Amino acid sequence: MVKVLVAEDDIELRKSMVEIIELEGHSVTAVGCAEAAIDACEHTCFDVALMDLLMPGMTGVEAISNLRQLSPFIAVVIITAYATVDTAVDAMKKGADSVMTKPFNADGLLMAIKRSVAEKQLLKSATNIDSDSVYAALANPFRRMTLKQLGTHKQLKFMDLCRLVGIEDHTKFNFHLRQLIKAGLVVQNENKIYFLTTTGQFVLQHHNLS
């Protein structure tokens, strides 16, 4: 069963979306703002998030990085009544998987969910990613920063990486590196140089690690 998160401030539209999704046999949690969507992600691992672009408080696009930190493989679909090429490009650059324009019908909504889940499953299987291990690895800001630094510098020695990430406690940093290696995101060669694995490169490219 697909677990769907809906964040939409229009109450009637939100109710309609819930009804359509539940009739398809999916599980759905519906909220009225992006902040509530982030809170929901802290307690449930969703497959798809349908995020309205403009809501009170944080926008749907602004919430993407928070959602991905909590659930690295969640598929995010931005919903907007004001879709332009610029809107879509900006949303995709910030991590959205697709953009859907209002108004939409039931078939369009269900197709967006189906396509998003299929694409995520394909990417996960193609890179042989253990989502639980990656989720645990990305939960820590020092580990996210380590991936970003290795993505920028390609390969680094322990002391250089330690300095760039900003950890003075070498024992503590060594623990974080072991977690990244265990998750299959980072590898160390015979010269004790650290660099990203193919999986690590994929995660860095497809997730906004802020």
The model's pLDDT over 27-36, given as tens digits with 9 standing for 90+, comes to 999 999 999 9
pLDDT of residue 200: 84
- C-alpha 153/C-alpha 48 separation (Å) is 33
Q: What is the mean pLDDT of residues 156-169?
A: 93
Question: Which residue pairs from 143-148 have beta carbons closer than 8 angstroms and sit at least 24 positions apart in sequence?
Answer: 143/176, 143/179, 143/180, 144/69, 144/209, 144/210, 145/209, 146/176, 146/177, 146/180, 146/186, 147/180, 147/185, 147/186, 147/196, 147/200, 147/203, 147/204, 147/209, 148/204, 148/209
Whether pLDDT at 179 is above 60: yes
Average pLDDT score over residue span 3-21: 97
- The number of beta carbons lying within 10 Å of the beta carbon of residue 200 is 25
Region 3-126: CATH code: 3.40.50.2300
How much is the pLDDT for 40?
Answer: 97
Where is pLDDT greater, at 193 or 85? 193
Whole-number pLDDT of residue 201: 80
Which residue intervals of the chain bear CATH 3.40.50.2300?
3-126
What is d(CA 205, CA 26) in angstroms, rounded to the nearest whole number? 29
Average pLDDT over residues 153-168: 93
pLDDT of residue 125: 62
- Kindly indicate the confidence band of residue 118, based on its pLDDT and cuts at 50, 70 and 90: confident
The domain defined by 132-206 folds into Arc Repressor Mutant, subunit A (1.10.10)
Name residue, tokens 């998750």: 183
CA separation, residue 134 to residues 33, 68, 169 (Å) = 27, 11, 23
Which DSSP symbol is given to 107?
A: H
3-state helix, strand and coil shares in percent for the chain, rounded to the nearest 5: 50, 15, 30
Q: What is the mean pLDDT of residues 175-192?
A: 88
pLDDT of residue 31: 98
What residues does CATH 1.10.10.10 cover in the chain?
132-206
Contacts of residue 22, defined as CB under 8 A and 6 or more positions apart, other chains included, come to 28
Is the model's pLDDT at 132 over the cut of 80?
no
128 vs 48, more confident: 48
pLDDT in tens, 25-63: 999 999 999 999 999 999 999 999 999 999 999 999 999
CB neighbours of residue 188 within 10 Å: 13
pTM for the structure as a whole = 0.62
- Asked if residues 75 and 31 have their Cβ atoms less than 8 Å apart, the reply is no
d(CA 58, CA 23): 30
